[in-house]
């Protein structure tokens, strides 16, 4: 499976499905989402890149910190970018961070 940048609910779904998948994804790159932990976890090998605006009023910024903590406890590799002065959106700094993340795994 490939790596695609995803936003908000797409991040939530992709994180959830990646943990259920018996075959690791190349990566999950999520913007402005949160983690809903499945009851059973089959995969912790998928590398994860999370980007979140500190001023998000739709999905609270703290969601990214919780996701990072939970994923790392499972043994997943997680890179996080906290973007100051950004709401529920994607900006150029987040896109650049995601590209650098991809360069590191390809």
Residues in the chain: 106
| Whether the predicted pLDDT of 1 surpasses 60 | no
List, edge to edge, every strand of the sheet that includes 48-53. Answer: 5-7, 28-31, 48-53, 78-83
- 86 close to 53: Cβ distance less than 8 angstroms: yes
Active site residue 8: yes
Considering 14, 32, 56, 63, which one is annotated as catalytic? Answer: 56
> What is the average per-residue pLDDT within 93-100?
96
CB atoms within 10 A of CB 26: 14
Considering 21, 88, 89, 91, which one is annotated as catalytic? Answer: 88
Active site residue 55: no
Active site residue 88: yes
Considering 8, 14, 32, 76, which one is annotated as catalytic? Answer: 8
For 35-94, what is each residue's pLDDT tens digit? 999 999 999 999 999 999 999 999 999 999 999 999 999 999 999 999 999 999 999 999
């Amino acid at each position: 499976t490939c790596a695609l940048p995803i936003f908000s609910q797409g991040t939530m779904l992709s994180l959830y499905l990646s943990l259920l998948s018996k075959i690791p994804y190349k990566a999950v790159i999520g913007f402005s989402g949160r983690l809903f932990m499945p009851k059973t976890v089959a995969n912790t090998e998928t590398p994860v890149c999370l980007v979140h605006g500190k001023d998000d009023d739709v999905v609270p910024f703290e969601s990214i910190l919780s996701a990072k903590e939970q994923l790392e406890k499972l043994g997943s590799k997680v890179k996080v970018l906290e973007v100051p002065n950004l709401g529920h959106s994607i900006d150029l700094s987040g896109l650049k961070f995601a590209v650098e993340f991809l360069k590191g795994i390809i």
